[in-house]
Amino acid sequence: MGLAELFLLAVGLSMDAFSVSVCKGLGMRRVDWKTTLILALAFGAFQAGMPVIGWALGSQLLWLIEPIDHWIAFGLLAFIGGGMIREAISEDDEEVGASSTIDAREVLMLAIATSIDALTVGIAFASLSVNIWLSVSLIGVTTFVLSIVGVLVGNQFGMRYRRPSQFVGGVILILIGLKVLLEHLGILVL
């Protein structure tokens, strides 16, 4: 696998993290760089770490993880998305988006949910002649950068339309989780 192919793979893997970052940026009144960097670091670290775990395990435990990975991703994204929708519906206009902070549990859940597919990629790496350290470095850095870009894009849109954008962000997270679920169940083929 060449560098160009690895980069395209890295971009593809980071799209879920980018989408979630856009959703988090939607809820920020102004960009909180500390929160943005924590989110980007977590997403980048998990996107880089999951292929290493998959690579190390090889195909030995694929039978255990593969049947439920899509349910885990769906559940986590639906939970976070549902919370965003609930906040958009129940909060006063002044409060929506006022907090740009994100708690550690939410960061962890989002990072896991957006990186589960990278675990399977790592298992595939075990059967290919791929430099695992170059691959995961590229995946991690790409995800880190695109996560920051996602927050900035989401924030620019969200500043104008706080309540609807937070609602839409929650719906998007749920739809991403549903897409992951339906693809793995074979109902949706893209």
Question: For the segment 133-170, what is each residue's pLDDT rounded down to a tens digit?
Answer: 999 999 999 999 999 999 999 888 766 666 676 677 67
Contact indicator for 67, 163 with CB cutoff of 8 Å? no
Distance CA(127)–CA(33), nearest Å, equals 39
Length of the chain, please?
Answer: 190
Distance CA(156)–CA(70), nearest Å, equals 31
Tokens encoding 87: 């906040």
Q: Is 59 contained in some domain?
A: yes
pLDDT of 2 reads 76
Q: Is 119 contained in some domain?
A: yes
Please tell me which residue, 19 or 172, carries the higher pLDDT value. Answer: 19
pLDDT of 190 reads 66
CA angle 48, 51, 53 (to 5 degrees): 110
Q: Is 190 contained in some domain?
A: no
Count of domains forming the chain: 1
Tokens encoding 43: 């997403």
- Asked if residue 132 has pLDDT above 80, the reply is yes
Contact indicator for 63, 177 with CB cutoff of 8 Å? no
Q: Is 189 contained in some domain?
A: no
Which amino acid type is present at position 184? H
- Domain of residue 153 covers 3-184
Q: Is 178 contained in some domain?
A: yes
**Residue 35: how many other CB atoms lie within 10 Å:** 18
Residue range 23-70, pLDDT digits in tens: 888 878 888 899 899 999 999 999 999 999 988 887 676 677 667 777
pLDDT of 39 reads 93
pTM above 0.85, yes or no: no
Q: Is 141 contained in some domain?
A: yes
CA angle 130, 136, 142 (to 5 degrees): 125
